[in-house]
């Protein structure tokens, strides 16, 4: 379990990126969602001890990120957004290297690397990583986390830039991770697919949290109507107009040729007047 205690980060230019968070983050896979600049990466970098908080603290399974960062580092694996493999090395060599640096013996590292790479479905483990697709490279990083058997894994936007099929494959790999897995994402379907709990961030604060069902519980009676023609009382995203009506009106809109969709977590952001991908 991760406990945030008044955790804040203000950058030297005065930007408050994370604003006095007090939260208990459940174990299992959880997602932090929010638009660009909401503070997701800053939060993850503090929790993974890459960035010192301006004030406050966080406890990872009871260990303080401020007072005992070395101890925290032994229990976590953090895969940053910008992580890129060493192209001339194979996936097997890189997972192996990571495990050796973490104190695994030669045999332990070899066995754990092969098992994890097989588990995430990376059959091309002996090819140089610069010959692998974006999805395969991402799977290699998930294999690192899996092989290390870390108590807590941080994944910052693990599937950004991947095509839908590769994203799906990386999701299967992520589902194999044990312990606490905290991931950030812009993709609502990713958060819905992977996490039992979702934390919504905006301007450095967590504005809502809950399971998908809990988060959209007060919108259960609504459907989303989309049109490229202006509609009254609608929100606009680019050239798309969106509004929400009672389910009982859905058929009327379908007959008028509107696009009618069930509501999802994305709609929570739209109703607040923000879109996730800017």
Residue span binding ligand ATP (CB under 6 A) among the ranges 23-31, 39-47, 138-146, 161-169 = 39-47
Report if residue 52 touches ligand ATP, rule: CB under 6 A. Answer: no
Q: What gap in Å lies between CA 158 and CA 190, rounded to an integer?
A: 10
Task: Give the count of residues interacting with ligand ATP (CB under 6 A).
Answer: 12
Asked if 47 contacts 157 with a C-beta cutoff of 8 angstroms, the reply is no
3-state helix, strand, coil in the chain (%, to 5): 35, 30, 35
Backbone angles phi, psi at 73, to 5 degrees: -60, -30
Question: In terms of CB distance, is 47 or 120 closer to ligand ATP?
Answer: 47
Report if residue 39 touches ligand ATP, rule: CB under 6 A. Answer: yes
Bin 150: left if φ > 0, else alpha if -120 < ψ < 50, else beta: beta
Q: Taking CB under 6 A as the criterion, which residues in 70-99 touch ligand ATP?
A: none
What minimum distance in Å lies between the beta carbon of 32 and ligand ATP? 8
Q: Which of 8, 42, 209, 275 binds ligand ATP (CB under 6 A)?
A: 42
Q: Which of 8, 31, 41, 49 binds ligand ATP (CB under 6 A)?
A: 41
Burial-class residue 228 by CB neighbours within 10 Å (0-12, 13-18, 19+): exposed
DSSP bridge pairs for 29 = 181
What minimum distance in Å lies between the beta carbon of 102 and ligand ATP? 26
Residues that bind ligand ATP (CB under 6 A): 11, 13, 15, 17, 34, 36-42
């Amino acid at each position: 379990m991760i406990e945030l205690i008044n955790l804040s980060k203000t950058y030297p230019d005065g930007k408050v990126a994370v604003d006095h968070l007090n939260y208990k983050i459940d174990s299992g896979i959880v997602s932090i969602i929010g638009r660009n600049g909401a503070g997701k990466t800053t939060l993850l970098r503090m929790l993974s001890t890459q960035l010192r908080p301006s004030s406050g603290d966080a406890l990872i399974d009871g260990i303080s990120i401020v007072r005992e960062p070395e101890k925290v580092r032994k229990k976590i694996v953090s895969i940053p957004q910008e992580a890129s493999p060493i192209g001339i090395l194979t996936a097997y060599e890189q997972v192996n290297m990571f495990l050796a640096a973490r104190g695994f013996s030669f045999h332990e590292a070899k066995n754990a690397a092969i098992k994890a790479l097989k588990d995430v479905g990376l059959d091309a483990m002996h090819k140089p990583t610069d010959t692998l697709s974006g999805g395969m490279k991402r799977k290699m990083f998930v294999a690192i986390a899996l092989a290390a058997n870390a108590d807590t894994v941080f994944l910052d936007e693990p599937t950004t830039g991947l095509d839908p099929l590769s994203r799906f494959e990386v999701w299967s790999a992520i589902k194999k991770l044990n312990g606490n897995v905290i991931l950030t994402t812009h993709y609502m379907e990713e958060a819905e697919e992977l996490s039992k709990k979702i934390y919504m961030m905006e301007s450095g604060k967590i504005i809502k949290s809950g399971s998908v069902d809990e988060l959209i519980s007060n919108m259960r009676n609504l459907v989303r109507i989309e049109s490229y023609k202006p509609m009254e009382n609608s929100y606009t995203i680019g050239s798309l107009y969106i509004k929400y009506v009672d389910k009982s009106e859905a058929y009327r809109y379908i007959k008028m040729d509107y696009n009618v969709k069930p509501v999802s977590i994305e709609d929570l952001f739209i109703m607040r007047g923000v879109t996730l991908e800017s």
